[in-house]
Structure 1
Amino acid sequence: MMVYPLALPARLSVGRLAQQTGVHPQLLLRFIELGLLDAERDSSGRLWLAPNAAVTVARVQRLHLGLSLNYSAIGLVLDLLDRIDELERRDRSWT
């Protein structure tokens, strides 16, 4: 299947995400177990991820390599960063 930049697939398999990011599929499964990545199972039990999951994987890797955080701690850091972004958006909407 050919993927064009303007026509992203509606979902990604773990294998496809591994190809895109260069991260081993087992590590991606670990990210899913830790709640770092959101995945859904189809009726056959296969895991599917959102097309923007590669962005999340990049954030996780950057925090892990740049700050030497373990993957469990990264979940907390990502939650805090998302909360900060939300608060900043709210603050901007008030002005």
Structure 2
Amino acid sequence: MGYQLVPVPRLSLDAFAAMTGLHPELVRRLIVLGIVEPTRDANGQWCFDRSQVRAVARMQRLRSSFALNYSALGLVMDLLDRIDALESERRTERTSQPS
């Protein structure tokens, strides 16, 4: 008995913009700044993974909480991701060490 993999639908630029509440031009700006990272479909159009919706929600929370411009948001989000990775690595090291 096997399992069939079901492809996860990806979002077009317009669908992504509607889902996040952002104007498509702002989404394009976020792509240039590296805050959102779409891929290209077979037709060369941008398509977005649903995890990118979470990234935009995070960006919007940071922007409203700290009044950061979009360029600074990219840096802050990158630093937060690095901190998460380091903390995860440290937790892994602690659990793998013998008592």
Q: TM-score, normalised by structure 1?
A: 0.84
Q: CA deviation at 1:16?
A: 0.7
**Which residue of structure 2 lines up, in the alignment, with residue 47 of structure 1?**
46
Q: CA deviation at 1:32?
A: 0.4
Please state whether the residue corresponding to 1:16 is helix, strand or coil. Answer: helix
Q: CA deviation at 1:29?
A: 0.8
Distance 1:94 1:41 in 2: 37
For structure 2, the residue ranges without an aligned partner over 5 or more in a row are 1-5, 95-99
For 1:30, give the aligned amino acid: R
Question: Contact (CA 8 Å) 1:8, 1:51: kept in 2 or not?
Answer: no
Percent identity between matched residues is 45
CA root-mean-square deviation: 1.7
Count of residue pairs brought into register by the alignment: 89
For 1:59, give the aligned amino acid: R
Distance 2:15 2:71 in 1: 24
Q: Which has the larger radius of gyration?
A: 2
